[in-house]
Copies of this chain bind each other. A is one copy, B any other.
Amino acid sequence: MSPHTSASLKALLNKRGFRLTPQRQTILYVFQTLPQGNHLSAEDLHQILRRQGERISLSTVYRTLHLMAYMGILRELELAEGHKHYELNSPYTEHHHHLVCVQCNQTIEFKSDLIDRIGTRQAEAEGYHLLDCQLTIYGICPEAMQRGWSRTLPEGWRCSQSQQRLQRSDRDSDSDMASRG
């Protein structure tokens, strides 16, 4: 159920004067084999590649993410972490939205035709060419709430101190992403 074979990717790239390189092929493959509902930052992707023994430079990762987002192969996400995330964007991928815990970064996906329709209509109404439309809901997940967090600042927060706010505890703590239909 891969949206692109290396042949179709090549065709897609060549059509626009770009080339199919091993790096681009590898990167697309990573996204294609990613558990449904995951999204990667440039750094994440670079780590994964490195762990797989691929030697692709970080610059190339960035350039490729850019290119693929531009081509519509990837979708660029603005979650609440200060850097962009990317996920596959294809007709085979359900268009969805995100519910994010700003404390632990747990992310729940959900879809809503209604929202998509509103987005489409709104873009049309203004004469915009629609690229993407994302409802992002920021909140505190039940687990984080239990660990204690009021809507305001964490206890002992100081402007001048190191603010341990929203600091993700571990890189692998976000592996438990749920996906709801």
Other A-B pairs, 4, CB within 8 Å; known A18-B159, A95-B171: A16-B162, A78-B80, A78-B136, A133-B171
Decide: B152 and A72 in contact? CB cutoff 8 A.
Answer: yes
A interface, how many residues as a size bin?
35 or more
Query: CB within 8 Å of B: which of A120-153?
Result: 120-123, 126-142, 145, 151-153
The answer, yes or no, to whether A119 is at the interface (CB within 8 Å) is yes
Q: A162 contacts which of B17, B78, B113 (Cβ < 8 Å)?
A: B17
> A57-87 CB contact bits vs B (8 Å, 1 = yes)?
0000001001101111000101110000000
Q: Is A50 an interface residue (CB 8 A)?
A: no
Q: 23 A-B contacts, Cβ less than 8 Å apart?
A: A16-B161, A17-B159, A63-B159, A66-B154, A66-B163, A69-B152, A70-B153, A70-B157, A70-B165, A70-B166, A78-B79, A78-B136, A99-B122, A99-B126, A99-B128, A119-B137, A121-B181, A127-B141, A128-B139, A131-B138, A131-B139, A134-B135, A135-B135
